[in-house]
């Protein structure tokens, strides 16, 4: 009935110190207390942790006494019977008790610390405690992680998308919209070409190469934001014109001039810029030379004035035969050269660009603006009697004749019946009848018919006079009072007399004061045929004095606080004193500069009162000036030509006379 | 400067000459009277003037001629600045001293704020380009943070440390641990568990947050001290003062003081090191982002 207790202690040099005792007793105590038979000096062990009782020759029982279990064969137990022959082990705290059969039937217990005490620190601990290496991954690992995230997420994934995508499909709705020609004037400062609402990106969601975008696309192209390949078709090749023209066809956006002339008119690049553009394969004159994308919602249309003046500042030096004046910038924009009617014609009027100073226009019409603008004369009185809408001062308003066109750019062509007919009425006879009778009116613009109608009227009235017919005289008279000729005065004795009176009546209409000659130059050809005797000089009314630019009248309805006619007169200043239709009342460029480019009146404001960029008035994609259709120097461009062609009923010369 | 001092003395006849270099420490910030500060300042001003005087179309950004110029300069500088890590491992290479190199690193790095930001033209977005800029700014600002720490912390570190080495700080804690272990041997299980809490659940340094905040009140020693303190007070109130527990309390308090000193040291060292944990890995990420930025620009040209 004895126990052999061997206690192993590690020496500092790694060797073992073994203390062996033999206790002859049936039960031994195990614990931290100094009075225990097996003392285990660790705070994890109870003062009296367990007792070991020999219950048979080779069997012992271990039983905890302090309530803290012991570990036997991997299980925590409070009591266990052990067969010494099995060489069982009991773990108590950091110690292990290994039981085995000893000499003379004794039970040998080897107590050994198997978990080292906590204070066995070494130099490596110093590093982990005093440097961040103990609290963080190494810098190298962090660097690898960060670099890999960046390279995979922002380089390899987008690259794989670009390579895998091939040629991107273009959204059909955008292609169709881009191919539709824009209407004239749309591209100008009339506010109609506003920034379109941003369209959402097309289906397909986020594309990995979006992370390469240098900035948001313009609203017009916003739906391509996940479709980089739509424009960036080739790696390391800057966006080509063909990529733009896949949607923006040449018919929708014609060339500014013939490509060869554009190339020779351009200021050649020199020095570093030329070298850089050459080295990086960025030839001049591409769409993207002017139109910069990825600059925000409106910017693809924001083209620097510099792009215009780069060529136009010294164009004559490079293109000596050009009809276009050099324009170094808005401040030095040459004065306007109005396109005026030089020779009126019913079919092919000749127009000529003329400097504004001292310019005269030969429209063929007689029209004094001054008497039509008076508030006190017979014209004003007549207009009032006719119940026309008058200006606040009682004069005829400008809009009585100059009616804005649909897009408020310019004005509907002057139409004699509509604009003049209220006062310059062509009714020549009234025949009594129900409902006020029938008014007979001469057709405007058809002198042969007029002569014929008058002649026939006189002849028929002489042969078969009708009662209640009144001839209305055209002679100058007090407005509103028709001088009427009684029917019986028309009744004549003989046919020969009737013919003479008819001829006299026709001559009176064409040459007398009050009808044709008020506005037209009439020539007496002396022809025996009364319908051919009087020729009316052709009239061509100008409908666009400055066709190279766009002036949206609608946006200038109020000017410097003035509205109505006062706003018109603010620019067309001489109109109230103009006595002849040959006067040209087109304001010069200095007039525009009062607002455009002039500093705003606000304190410290840096913005101009109104825009002064070239595209405020001019378009680039108007196409090449047509040759022949209009005289040389009057390059209205393809769009102007198209507009003229689209309105054959209203050629540039509005039809007065026939 | 030092080598010219004798001749200058002879020429000016001044009685007192500037101290030779090896007796007066000249930090990298004042290297050669701030030569690199002047260089960097000049670069920044030139870049700023060029930016202000250039009418970029339609707006300034990396795609204008100035943008490409600034971008090329900036990319070159980033690569060169990141080479400090290589240079400092090459001991004693000529002709540029490591100090001069570091001085240039700091000042040119600061001028990169101007160059890099003007390169962007303030056109920022959620893309690889702005990522490169943001990483660059993080690197520069962390460097600035590091310099400010280097200017202030070593003095405090030295004052806190006294004449004690780090090893001695650890040894002090370990000695107290051994004393606690011994003193706790006669204690009952509950009290022994509290001492074990101090011995086994006490981490001198702890997590990054603990190191930086200095908040260790949940640490084993602090909890053990609080619990033992309560027990000692309870025993004293009941008139049965427990000397063994008082001894334990005394040892725990001494350990707390030793820990506090070590932890102040650790907190300052953590801050001295932490900026580099930002500066260096973000630099590598920046180089990756810079590569992706440049490649993507030319790929989608």
Distance, CA of B256 to CA of B263 (rounded, Å):
10
Tell me which range, A140-154, A175-189, A255-269, B30-44, is most confidently predicted by mean pLDDT.
A140-154
Q: Is residue B126 part of a domain?
A: yes
Both B133 and B52 in a single domain? Answer: yes
Q: Is residue B295 part of a domain?
A: yes
Q: Which of B128, B199, B200 sits opposite A211 (nearest CB)?
A: B128
Q: Is residue B147 part of a domain?
A: yes
Task: Read off the pLDDT band of A170 (50, 70, 90).
Answer: confident
The whole-number pLDDT of residue B32 equals 78
A129-138, A294-303, B62-71, B258-267: least confident range: A294-303
Q: Is residue B5 part of a domain?
A: no
Q: Is the pLDDT of residue B112 over 90?
A: yes
The whole-number pLDDT of residue A656 equals 34
* Higher per-residue confidence, A501 vs B267: B267
A427: alpha, beta or left, given left = phi > 0 and alpha = psi -120 to 50? Answer: beta
Q: Tokens representing A323?
A: 């009809």
For residue B185, the chain A residues in CB contact (below 8 A) are: 32, 34, 41, 43
* Higher per-residue confidence, A409 vs B235: B235
A17-21, A280-284, B92-96: least confident range: B92-96
How distant is the alpha carbon of residue A152 from its chain centre?
35
A507 touches chain B (CB under 8 A): no
For A354, phi then psi, to 5°, come to -135, 145
A139 touches chain B (CB under 8 A): yes
Both B158 and B280 in a single domain? Answer: yes
Answer whether B281 sits within 8 Å of A146, measured CB to CB: yes
Q: Which of B192, B270, B296 sits opposite A212 (nearest CB)?
A: B296
The whole-number pLDDT of residue A602 equals 63
Answer whether A131 sits within 8 Å of B269, measured CB to CB: yes
Distance, CA of A403 to CA of A413 (rounded, Å):
8
Q: Is the pLDDT of residue B8 over 50?
A: no
Q: Is the pLDDT of residue A473 over 80?
A: no
Both B172 and B261 in a single domain? Answer: yes
Distance, CA of B135 to CA of B129 (rounded, Å):
10
Q: Which of A43, A144, A155 sits opposite B195 (nearest CB)?
A: A43
Both B292 and B193 in a single domain? Answer: no
Q: What is the ipTM of this complex?
A: 0.84
Q: Is residue B3 part of a domain?
A: no
Which residues contact residue A215 at a Cβ distance below 8 angstroms, ignoring those fewer than 6 apart? Answer: A294, A295, A296, B61, B123, B125, B127
Both B150 and B283 in a single domain? Answer: yes
Q: Is residue B2 part of a domain?
A: no
- DSSP per residue over A516-538, as a string? HHHHB-EEE---SSHHHHEEEPP
Chain A, residues 58-77, CB within 8 A of chain B, namely: 66-68
Q: Is B80 helix (H, G, I), strand (E, B) or coil?
A: helix
Both B147 and B37 in a single domain? Answer: yes
Residue range A146-165: average pLDDT? 92
A146 touches chain B (CB under 8 A): yes
Residue range A268-272: average pLDDT? 84
Chain A, residues 168-227, CB within 8 A of chain B, namely: 209-216
Q: Is the pLDDT of residue A406 over 50?
A: yes
Both B62 and B207 in a single domain? Answer: no
* Higher per-residue confidence, A492 vs A211: A211
Q: Which of B59, B185, B281 sits opposite A139 (nearest CB)?
A: B281
* Higher per-residue confidence, B241 vs B209: B209
Both B287 and B237 in a single domain? Answer: no
Closest CA of chain B from A261, distance in Å: 25
Residue range A473-483: average pLDDT? 50
Share of chain B above pLDDT 70, in %: 90
Answer whether B208 sits within 8 Å of A135, measured CB to CB: yes
Query: What predicted TM-score, i.e. pTM, was given to this entire model?
Result: 0.69
The structural domains of chain A, ordered by start, are 2-113 (2.60.200.20), 154-302 (no CATH), 427-536 (no CATH)
Q: Is the pLDDT of residue A297 over 80?
A: no
User: Does an H or E element contain A619, and which?
Assistant: none
Distance, CA of A501 to CA of A509 (rounded, Å):
12
For B108, phi then psi, to 5°, come to -65, -35
Q: Is residue B267 part of a domain?
A: yes
Both B46 and B149 in a single domain? Answer: yes
For residue A155, the chain B residues in CB contact (below 8 A) are: 128, 288, 291-292, 295-296
Chain B, residues 99-158, CB within 8 A of chain A, namely: 123, 125-129, 131
Task: Read off the pLDDT band of A276 (50, 70, 90).
Answer: confident
Both B138 and B205 in a single domain? Answer: no
Residue linked to tokens 């003193």: B183
Chain A, residues 261-300, CB within 8 A of chain B, namely: 273, 276, 280-281, 292, 295-296, 299
Range of the domain at B183: 166-273
Both B137 and B215 in a single domain? Answer: no
Share of chain A above pLDDT 70, in %: 83
Answer whether A130 sits within 8 Å of B185, measured CB to CB: no
Distance, CA of A511 to CA of A507 (rounded, Å):
6
Q: State the total domains in chain B.
A: 2
Q: What does the mean pLDDT of chain B come to?
A: 86
Task: Read off the pLDDT band of A657 (50, 70, 90).
Answer: very low
Q: Is residue B12 part of a domain?
A: no
For residue B60, the chain A residues in CB contact (below 8 A) are: none
The whole-number pLDDT of residue A572 equals 92
The whole-number pLDDT of residue B229 equals 93
Q: Is the pLDDT of residue A496 over 80?
A: no
Biggest CA-to-CA distance, chain B: 89
pLDDT tens-digit series, residues A298-347: 666 666 656 788 888 888 888 888 888 899 888 899 999 888 898 898 88
A150 touches chain B (CB under 8 A): yes
The whole-number pLDDT of residue B289 equals 96
Both B156 and B217 in a single domain? Answer: no
Nearest by Cα to A47 from B144, B77, B192: B192
Q: What does the mean pLDDT of chain A come to?
A: 80
């Amino acid at each position: 009935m004895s126990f052999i207790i061997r206690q192993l202690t590690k020496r500092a040099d790694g060797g073992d110190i073994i203390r062996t005792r033999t206790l002859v007793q049936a039960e031994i105590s195990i614990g931290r207390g100094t009075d225990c038979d097996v003392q285990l000096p660790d705070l994890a062990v109870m003062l009296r942790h367990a007792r070991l009782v020999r219950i048979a020759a080779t069997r012992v029982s271990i039983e905890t006494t302090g309530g803290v279990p012991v570990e036997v064969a991997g299980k925590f137990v409070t009591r266990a019977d052990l067969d010494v022959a099995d060489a069982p082990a009991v773990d108590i705290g950091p110690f292990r008790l290994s039981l085995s059969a000893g000499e003379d039937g004794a039970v040998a217990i080897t107590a050994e610390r198997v978990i080292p005490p906590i204070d066995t620190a070494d130099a490596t601990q110093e590093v982990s405690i005093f440097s961040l290496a103990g609290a963080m991954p190494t810098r190298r690992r962090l660097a690898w992680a960060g670099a890999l995230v960046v390279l995979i997420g922002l380089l390899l994934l987008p690259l794989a998308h670009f390579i895998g995508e091939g040629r991107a499909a273009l959204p059909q709705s955008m292609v169709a919209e881009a191919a539709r020609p824009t209407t004239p004037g749309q591209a100008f400062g009339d506010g109609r070409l506003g920034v379109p609402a941003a369209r959402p990106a097309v289906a397909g969601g986020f594309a990995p190469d979006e992370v390469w975008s240098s900035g948001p696309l313009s609203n017009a192209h916003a739906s391509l934001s996940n479709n980089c390949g739509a424009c960036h078709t080739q790696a390391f090749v800057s966006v080509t014109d063909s990529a733009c023209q896949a949607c923006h066809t040449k018919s929708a956006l014609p060339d500014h001039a013939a490509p060869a002339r554009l190339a020779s008119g351009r200021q050649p690049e020199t020095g570093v810029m030329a070298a850089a553009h050459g080295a990086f394969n960025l030839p001049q004159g591409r769409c993207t030379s002017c139109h910069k994308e990825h600059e925000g919602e409106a910017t693809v249309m924001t083209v620097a004035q510099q792009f215009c003046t780069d060529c136009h500042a010294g164009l004559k030096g490079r293109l000596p035969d050009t009809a276009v004046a050099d324009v170094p910038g808005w401040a030095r924009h040459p004065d306007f050269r109005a396109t005026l009617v030089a020779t009126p014609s019913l079919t092919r009027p000749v127009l000529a660009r003329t400097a504004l100073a001292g310019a005269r226009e030969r429209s063929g019409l007689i029209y004094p603006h001054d008497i039509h603008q008076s508030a006190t004369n017979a014209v004003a009185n007549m207009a009032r009697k006719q119940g026309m809408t008058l200006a606040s001062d009682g004069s005829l308003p400008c809009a009585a004749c100059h009616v804005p066109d649909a897009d408020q750019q310019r004005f509907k062509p002057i139409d004699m019946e509509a604009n003049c007919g209220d006062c310059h009425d062509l009714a020549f006879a009234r025949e009594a009848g129900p409902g006020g009778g029938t008014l007979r009116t001469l057709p405007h613009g058809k002198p042969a018919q007029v002569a014929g109608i008058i002649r026939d009227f006189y002849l028929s009235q002489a042969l078969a006079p009708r009662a209640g017919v009144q001839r209305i005289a055209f002679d100058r008279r007090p407005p509103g009072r028709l001088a009427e000729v009684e029917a019986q005065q028309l009744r004549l004795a003989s046919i020969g007399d009737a013919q003479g009176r008819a001829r006299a009546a026709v001559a009176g209409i064409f040459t007398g004061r009050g009808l044709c000659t008020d506005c037209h130059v009439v020539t007496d050809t002396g022809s025996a045929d009364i319908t051919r005797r009087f020729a009316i000089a052709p009239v061509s009314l100008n409908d666009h004095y400055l066709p190279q630019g766009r002036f949206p009248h609608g946006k200038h309805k109020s000017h410097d606080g003035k509205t109505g006619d006062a706003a018109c007169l603010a620019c067309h200043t001489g109109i109230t004193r103009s006595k002849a239709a040959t006067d040209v009342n087109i304001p010069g460029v200095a007039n525009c500069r009062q607002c455009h480019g002039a500093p705003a009146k606000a304190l410290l404001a840096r913005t101009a009162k109104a825009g002064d960029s070239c595209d405020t008035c001019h378009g680039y994609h108007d196409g090449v000036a047509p040759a022949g259709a209009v005289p040389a120097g009057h390059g209205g461009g393809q769009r102007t030509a198209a507009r003229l062609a689209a309105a054959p009923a209203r050629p540039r010369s509005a039809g007065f006379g026939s | 400067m030092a080598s010219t001092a004798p001749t200058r003395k002879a020429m000016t006849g001044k009685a007192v000459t500037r101290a030779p270099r090896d007796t007066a420490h000249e930090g990298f910030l004042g290297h050669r009277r701030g030569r690199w500060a002047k260089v960097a300042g000049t670069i920044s001003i030139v870049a700023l003037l060029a930016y202000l005087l250039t009418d970029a179309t339609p707006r300034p950004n990396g795609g204008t001629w100035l943008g490409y110029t600034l971008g090329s300069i900036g990319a070159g500088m980033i690569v060169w600045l990141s080479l400090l890590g290589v240079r400092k491992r090459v001991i004693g290479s000529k002709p540029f001293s490591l100090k001069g190199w570091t001085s240039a690193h700091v000042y040119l790095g600061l001028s990169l704020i101007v160059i890099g930001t003007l390169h962007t033209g303030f056109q920022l977005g959620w893309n690889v380009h702005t990522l490169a800029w943001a990483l660059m700014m993080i690197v520069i600002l962390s460097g600035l943070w590091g310099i400010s720490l280097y200017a202030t912390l070593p003095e405090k570190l030295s004052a806190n440390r006294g004449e004690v080495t780090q090893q001695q700080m650890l040894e002090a804690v370990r000695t107290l641990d051994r004393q606690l272990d011994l003193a706790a041997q006669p204690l009952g299980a509950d009290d022994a568990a509290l001492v074990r809490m101090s011995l086994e659940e006490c981490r001198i340094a702890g997590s990054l947050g603990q190191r930086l905040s200095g908040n260790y009140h949940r640490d084993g020693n602090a909890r053990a001290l609080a619990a033992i303190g309560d027990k000692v007070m309870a025993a004293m109130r009941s008139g049965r003062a427990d000397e063994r527990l008082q001894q334990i309390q005394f040892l725990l308090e001494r350990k707390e003081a030793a820990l506090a000193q070590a932890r102040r040291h650790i907190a300052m060292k953590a801050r001295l090191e932490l900026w580099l944990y930002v500066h260096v890995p973000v630099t590598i990420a920046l180089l990756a982002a810079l590569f992706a930025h440049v490649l993507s620009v030319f790929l989608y040209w």
